[in-house]
Amino acid sequence: MRTITEPIKVLLSDEQAQALRDFVYQLTTDSISQAKRDVGASQQWLRKKKAAAYADVSEGTFAGWTKNGLAGHVINGSALFNKHDIDFYINHNGKMKQ
């Protein structure tokens, strides 16, 4: 009789081992992609509220940034902000805290 602490060994052919690796890789890749979609990490364009959250500032602070030069794009009355533009604004305004 096996005890609970003894490992179970599974022998796989090379083809089965490769198929298992491929399955685990695809499962992991799909899970990461879904998680990115769930949090909006793959979105390049953000509405004002999400853009402020992305920058980790209040909506009021973000509105000030737009008045001071942060580029936004208005399409049919909806303001959209590009993550790269937000990052550029943050990196090129203000002083580095030391």
pLDDT at position 82: 95
Q: How far is Cα 26 from Cα 30, in angstroms, rounded to an integer?
A: 6
Q: Are 27 and 65 in contact (CB under 8 A)?
A: no
Question: Which residues, in sequence order, are bridge partners of residue 82?
Answer: 45
Q: Higher model confidence: residue 3 or residue 9?
A: 9
Q: How far is Cα 34 from Cα 41, in angstroms, rounded to an integer?
A: 10
Please give the backbone phi and psi of residue 23, each rounded to the nearest 5 degrees, phi first. -65, -45
Q: Higher model confidence: residue 34 or residue 86?
A: 86
pLDDT at position 26: 94
What band does 98 get if pLDDT is binned at 50, 70 and 90?
Answer: low
List, in order, residues 6 or more apart from 59 with CB less than 8 Å away: 48, 49, 52
The whole-model pTM stands at 0.57
Q: Is 9 strand, coil or helix? A: coil
Mean pLDDT over each residue of the chain, to the nearest integer: 88
- Answer yes or no: is pLDDT of 25 > 70: yes
